[in-house]
């Protein structure tokens, strides 16, 4: 077996950055040292002997750095963010956790650090913190669901109005086409609406009106009334519609607990009432 000795850090980084081991194999063939293999007859499944491999100082430093990095990752403390406010001039503080993840980390760790002191969390305090955090999360989920339903209802009203307007427009266009076919008078707005709705139907109606014009006389007053009604309908449709919804504001609440630093050792008062906001989903 051929091995390389005294490989520098730069050379090691260069070879490990290559996509294949071609250059490393060429270097081994050129500068490698032959190491005699052990006698295979002396090896058996119960052997406890270990092979030894020489590595450079740079390789050893890299190996140790990787071990230290893994060890630090295992022993690193979870990051716990919270805000602190003092109660008046007393030595009591209110601890506020911004979200459920911070509460969970604090409970898992079993303590927090405040003013340079370690504050241990009893089992009772842990239960109350988790219960309050869950209550706030359920409240926020309820508000989110409520706001979602508001938007869904607004979308449903918008779709319903759009379908009704489309049906009304088609009904007016068919009525206008029928009136034109029978020689009735229609307003320019009605005629334009028919032409935009269906050009073929408009052309057919105009052709039929030319044949019917010399035989029929219609009531202008009734035609004007129909056109006026259509004009009012179009005016109503043109009016801006408000489909906005008034969302319920997300409750601005936090999980809290009271900490006293009057003694030499900080302690947590387990009896407190979690801050809540009334909500009806």
Question: How does pLDDT run across 6-58, given as a tens digit for each residue?
Answer: 677 777 777 777 777 777 778 777 777 776 655 544 444 444 445 455 566 66
Per-residue pLDDT at 76: 58
Asked whether residue 246 carries a pLDDT value surpassing 70, the answer given is yes
Asked whether residue 73 carries a pLDDT value surpassing 60, the answer given is no
281 belongs to a structural domain: no
Per-residue pLDDT at 46: 46
Per-residue pLDDT at 264: 63
Q: Same structural domain for residues 232 and 148?
A: yes
Per-residue pLDDT at 174: 93
Q: Same structural domain for residues 187 and 256?
A: no
Residue 62 pLDDT grade (very low, low, confident, very high; cuts 50, 70, 90): confident
Q: Same structural domain for residues 125 and 164?
A: no
21 belongs to a structural domain: yes
**Which residues 6+ apart lie within 8 Å of 146 measured at CB?**
248, 281
Q: Beta 92-97 vs 82-86: how paired, if at all?
A: antiparallel
67 belongs to a structural domain: no
87 belongs to a structural domain: yes
Q: What is the model's pTM?
A: 0.53
68 belongs to a structural domain: no
Residue 1 pLDDT grade (very low, low, confident, very high; cuts 50, 70, 90): low
Mean pLDDT, residues 252-276 taken together: 68
Residue 84 pLDDT grade (very low, low, confident, very high; cuts 50, 70, 90): confident
Bigger pLDDT: 141 vs 88: 141
Q: Same structural domain for residues 129 and 149?
A: no
**Which residues 6+ apart lie within 8 Å of 133 measured at CB?**
97, 100, 103, 104, 255
> How is residue 80 written in tokens?
């716990």
Asked whether residue 259 carries a pLDDT value surpassing 80, the answer given is yes
Q: Same structural domain for residues 168 and 228?
A: yes
Per-residue pLDDT at 213: 67
Q: How many domains does the chain have?
A: 3
> How is residue 128 written in tokens?
């109350």
Q: Same structural domain for residues 98 and 223?
A: no
Over residues 187-245, the pLDDT tens digits come to 999 999 999 999 999 999 988 888 776 565 556 677 888 899 999 999 989 889 888 88
Over residues 135-178, the pLDDT tens digits come to 999 999 999 999 999 999 999 999 999 999 999 999 999 999 99
174 belongs to a structural domain: yes
- By CB atoms closer than 10 A (0-12, 13-18, 19+), residue 29 is exposed
Q: Which domain holds residue 153?
A: 144-238
Q: Same structural domain for residues 188 and 261?
A: no
């Amino acid at each position: 077996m051929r091995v390389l000795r005294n490989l520098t850090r730069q050379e090691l980084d260069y070879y490990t950055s290559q996509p294949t081991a071609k250059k490393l194999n060429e270097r081994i063939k050129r500068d490698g040292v032959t190491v005699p293999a052990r006698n295979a007859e002396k090896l058996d499944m119960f052997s406890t002997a270990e092979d030894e491999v020489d590595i450079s100082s740079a390789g050893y430093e890299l190996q140790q750095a990787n071990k230290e990095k893994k060890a630090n990752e295992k022993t690193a403390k979870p990051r716990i963010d919270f805000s602190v406010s003092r109660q008046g001039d007393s030595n009591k503080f209110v601890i506020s956790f911004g979200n459920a993840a911070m509460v969970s980390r604090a409970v898992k760790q079993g303590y927090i650090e405040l003013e340079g002191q370690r504050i241990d969390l009893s089992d009772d305090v842990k239960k109350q913190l988790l219960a309050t955090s869950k209550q706030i999360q359920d409240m926020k989920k309820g508000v989110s669901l409520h706001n979602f339903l508001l938007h869904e209802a607004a979308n449903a009203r918008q779709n319903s109005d759009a379908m009704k307007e489309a049906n009304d427009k088609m009904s007016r266009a068919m009525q206008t086409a029928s009136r034109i076919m029978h020689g009735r008078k229609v307003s320019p707005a009605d005629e334009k609406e028919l032409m935009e709705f269906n050009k073929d139907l408009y052309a057919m109606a105009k052709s039929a009106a030319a044949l019917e014009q010399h035989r029929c006389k219609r009531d202008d007053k009734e035609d004007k009334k129909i056109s006026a009604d259509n004009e009012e309908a179009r005016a109503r449709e043109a009016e801006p519609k408000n489909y906005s919804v008034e969302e319920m504001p997300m409750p601005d609440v936090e999980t809290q607990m009271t900490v006293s630093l009057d003694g030499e050792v900080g302690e947590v008062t387990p009896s407190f009432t979690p801050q809540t906001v009334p909500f009806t989903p």
